[in-house]
Amino acid sequence: MKFKRVFCTNCKKPIYKSMGRINENLKLNHNFYCSRKCEFKFKTKKQKLLCENCGKSFSRQISQISPHNYCSHSCAMIVNNKKYPRKNRLKPILKTCIVCRNLYKKSSGNKKYCSMKCRNEAERYAPEELLDLIKNIFKKLGRVPARRELLKGEDKACVRFFGSWNNAILAAGFTPNRSHDNRMYKRVNAKAIDGHLCDSISELLIDNWLYKNNIPHKRNADYPGTNYKVDWELSTKNQKIFVEYFGLANDSPRYDRTVKEKKKLCGKHKISLIPIYPKDLYPKIFLEDNLKEKFKRVI
């Protein structure tokens, strides 16, 4: 293998490279370096500058040079604080901790305590206090409160003492709200007189009533342009009529949102909707009269 002498591009020191390496560098227009240190020095285009505050010499990349250059953040702050002094410096606000009565500086937000120790001491609840709190909110709202309707410290205390929010509601003597994530109800399949499969006994009563009153109907038709299903579609010549049994109305927020969506779809597509609620079916002695009133335009 033949070697040839070349010179370092940075320090001009002679070095020996193989002819293959030399030809490769010449072809790619690369320089020769005797070491990594020389390569770094040559490729690093730094310029020497003087700090405008202390006069110290320092180096900086050309792309980082600005109209005013300083060797450190401290020097920059010294100069800029003299040039642009803060006006109307606010004095720290002192507050009294409601637990230990010591003075402390209020930084931001609605702080009431000087430390986490005082906060924990103030926000410590007894189980009886939490139950009274839930009962008072129930009286105010007229319904069982949701967990998010309590303060953060109060709802966490309920979970800590009773194991879960629902357990706290049960301990207060109320029935917990249905979960938004869990399944809303368990379906009970039942077959009507005409052979239609119904999802509950209530739907079975309605389907049998339609059959006995000779009202042609079809189960589980589609809402236009959606995946929603209607409980019954009545076969009429003049107008499309949907019949829905809203058995869980006002019982589950997710179910109530679905009811609103279905009513909007019926209004958008000019579909007549006959809504039926549990109060229309029970007690059963009023079922006949209530359904006749609902379907008086069809019978």
- pLDDT by residue, tens only, the chain of 299 residues: 788 899 998 889 999 888 888 888 888 889 999 998 888 888 877 788 899 999 899 888 877 888 888 999 899 988 888 888 765 555 667 788 877 778 877 765 556 778 877 777 666 778 888 889 889 988 887 878 877 777 767 788 888 888 888 888 888 888 886 554 444 445 567 889 999 999 888 899 999 999 999 999 999 999 988 989 999 999 777 788 999 999 888 877 888 899 999 999 999 999 999 999 988 888 777 889 999 998 887 76
Distance between CA atoms of residues 205 and 198, nearest Å: 9
Please list the alpha-helical segments (H only) found in the chain: 19-28, 36-43, 73-83, 116-122, 127-141, 152-162, 165-171, 201-212, 253-268, 278-281, 287-294
CATH architecture of the domain with residue range 190-294: 3-Layer(aba) Sandwich (3.40)
pLDDT of residue 183: 44
173: left (phi over 0), alpha (psi -120 to 50) or beta: left
Q: Where are the domains of the chain?
A: 1-44, 51-85, 93-122, 125-171, 190-294
pTM across the whole model: 0.42
